[in-house]
Structure 1
Amino acid sequence: MMWQKYFIALLAAACAPAALPAFAAAPITVSWREKAPYYYYEDGVAKGFMLEKAKQVFAAAGLPVRFASEPQKRIWANFTHGVKNYCSISWYRLPEREAVAQYSIAVHTDQPHAVLAVPSAVARVRAHPNVKSLLADKSLTLAVIDGVSYGPELDPMIAASENHVMRRTVETSAMFRMLAAGRADFLFVDREDWGYLRQKFPELQSLVLTEFTDMPPGLKRYFVCSRDVPAASMERLNRAIASVNARGEAGRR
């Protein structure tokens, strides 16, 4: 009878599990690039202080995720091409990136960059009173990792540099080793990178760190997500970042 079928349908609907929120329908892919000590593989195991922090944040936000290691250019191609349900961890805020992705609140603040030079170029590097003067020296070769941002202030300065510029699409550790082998005279270095890599690769011990007082201040890093990630999910992510950052600050007191 029709009323019996209707009753059975109502009973089945009542017993069905409640619908999950939209953000829990499918895991978000969270990509990261190789950049020790932020995130990297060691003996096949994914490690890094920023990767661990990202795992804490997404867990605190209650967002289901799957982490994946991908090259930087592929990550930003994914954002440009509108890959759905997609995030990536710890990037600088740049206009061209904001055009294709949405940003979280800041998750980390870098130390200012420094200059790393080969011994034969140290005197010429230190002869310059500031970064602008250094980049105007046509006798020096600057090593630059292609596709990587050094921040919104340094990027245009590097683009206008009168140095001979050696651009290579390589990982940070490979570029450091190329510098140590004499392929260039200097590069701009992230302090976290240098602190980790000089311990890992003995051949880097000869390189010399130099600081410039006019170096741009350390930049903030953010998580970025595709435009389709709901506002509610981004709000959960931001609250989790604030909570994890607050715990970190409390632990350093």
Structure 2
Amino acid sequence: MPIAHVVLLSRIAAAVAALALPFGAARAAEEPLTVAWRDKPPYHYMEAGKEKGFLLERARKAFNVANVPARFVREPVKRIWANFDNAVRNYCSIGWYRLPERERMAQFSVPFYVDPPQLVLAGPRTAKAVRAHESFASLLGDPAMSIAMIDGASYGAQVDAMVEAGRTHVLRRTVGPISLLTMVMAGRASFTLIDRHDWDWARTHEPTVRGAVPVQFPDMPPGQTRYIVCSKDVPQSVMARINHGIDVVTLEDRSDRPGSR
């Protein structure tokens, strides 16, 4: 059995021992947490009036295992972080990278999910110029290029730092990944960044972005870890239960993978 698997089992066992209280009674006395999620298919999104997404379902399962009452709501990125900055009480959000500026506003769970690496996505008009670069660092050093990015969102500390240090013109918009892809396809930006889950979803669900060109660079940083984030007033006992729920869901996910048994 892999060491990481053993460590996770030990952590779950310790959490169960520490949380050996009447969960039902505790739940009845608790005010539900508001758990915000932003539109990011296929992680979490609306389709035909229904909430969908593999990470949203994972979060629901984790809160259910933790026996923590929760009310899930869709909110835009900037509102979510404004709520944390304004110390809104009993408030959580799912699927965020851990950054120093965010740690000042909120508390983070144990690791919730690890992304696949980002891809550079170019349009038909810019693919040749993007591919002319041998590395991501070289691409970001090209002042003739422009990158479309979501305003208020992080692409991971390493990617954020590379973009900040580069010479590429940065176009930040308060929109989702699909709208950024539309900008690239229309030639209003040279390229954007997208993770593999986003791209797999977009190319099968969004006809307007078909024909976009994915480009992989050898120096692209690895996928980032996502967390559940909660306001600082959420008690440590509740955070411990949320962490336990995440650990259980993570263990089940690993056990379901081919070759894990």
Is TM > 0.5 for Structure 1 vs Structure 2? yes
2:11 is aligned to none
SS at match of 1:193: helix
1:178 Cα deviation (Å)?
1.6
Question: Which one of 180, 187, 191 corresponds to residue 192 of structure 2?
Answer: 187
Letter in 2 for 1:51: L
Question: Which one of 205, 209, 214 corresponds to residue 210 of structure 2?
Answer: 205
1:233 aligns with 2:211: no
Question: Which one of 152, 176, 190 corresponds to residue 147 of structure 1?
Answer: 152
1:21 is aligned to 26
How many Å separate the matches in 1 of 2:135 and 2:100?
Answer: 27
2:116 is aligned to 111
CA contact (8 A) 2:62 2:246 kept: yes
Going from structure 1 to structure 2, the CA distance change for 1:60 and 1:185 (only over 3 Å counts) comes to: same
1:172 Cα deviation (Å)?
1.5
SS at match of 2:154: coil
2:249 is aligned to 244
1:20 Cα deviation (Å)?
4.8
CA contact (8 A) 1:24 1:64 kept: no
Taking structure 1 as the reference length, the TM-score comes to: 0.89
Letter in 2 for 1:155: D
Letter in 2 for 1:196: W
Letter in 1 for 2:54: F
Going from structure 1 to structure 2, the CA distance change for 1:24 and 1:173 (only over 3 Å counts) comes to: farther
1:121 Cα deviation (Å)?
1.6
Going from structure 1 to structure 2, the CA distance change for 1:158 and 1:24 (only over 3 Å counts) comes to: farther
Letter in 1 for 2:196: R
How many Å separate the matches in 1 of 2:170 and 2:99?
Answer: 22
Which structure has the greater CA radius of gyration?
Answer: 1
Structure 1 outlier segments of 4+, above 6 Å: none
1:48 Cα deviation (Å)?
0.4
Which stretch shifts more, 19-28 or 232-241?
Answer: 19-28
1:22 Cα deviation (Å)?
8.1
How many Å separate the matches in 2 of 1:161 and 1:212?
Answer: 16
How many Å separate the matches in 2 of 1:161 and 1:29?
Answer: 38
SS at match of 1:235: helix
Going from structure 1 to structure 2, the CA distance change for 1:23 and 1:113 (only over 3 Å counts) comes to: farther
1:5 is aligned to none
Letter in 1 for 2:62: V
2:97 is aligned to 92
Q: Where do 5+ consecutive residues of structure 2 fail to align?
A: 1-23
Question: Which one of 155, 159, 162 corresponds to residue 164 of structure 2?
Answer: 159
1:48 is aligned to 53
1:24 Cα deviation (Å)?
3.9
Letter in 1 for 2:30: A
Q: Where do 5+ consecutive residues of structure 1 fail to align?
A: 1-18
Going from structure 1 to structure 2, the CA distance change for 1:48 and 1:22 (only over 3 Å counts) comes to: closer
How many Å separate the matches in 1 of 2:240 and 2:177?
Answer: 33
1:160 Cα deviation (Å)?
2.7
Which stretch shifts more, 166-175 or 71-80?
Answer: 166-175
1:120 Cα deviation (Å)?
2.1
1:209 Cα deviation (Å)?
0.4
Letter in 2 for 1:84: R
How many Å separate the matches in 2 of 1:58 and 1:239?
Answer: 9
CA contact (8 A) 2:124 2:185 kept: no
1:217 is aligned to 222
Identity percentage of aligned residues = 48
Aligned pairs, number? 235
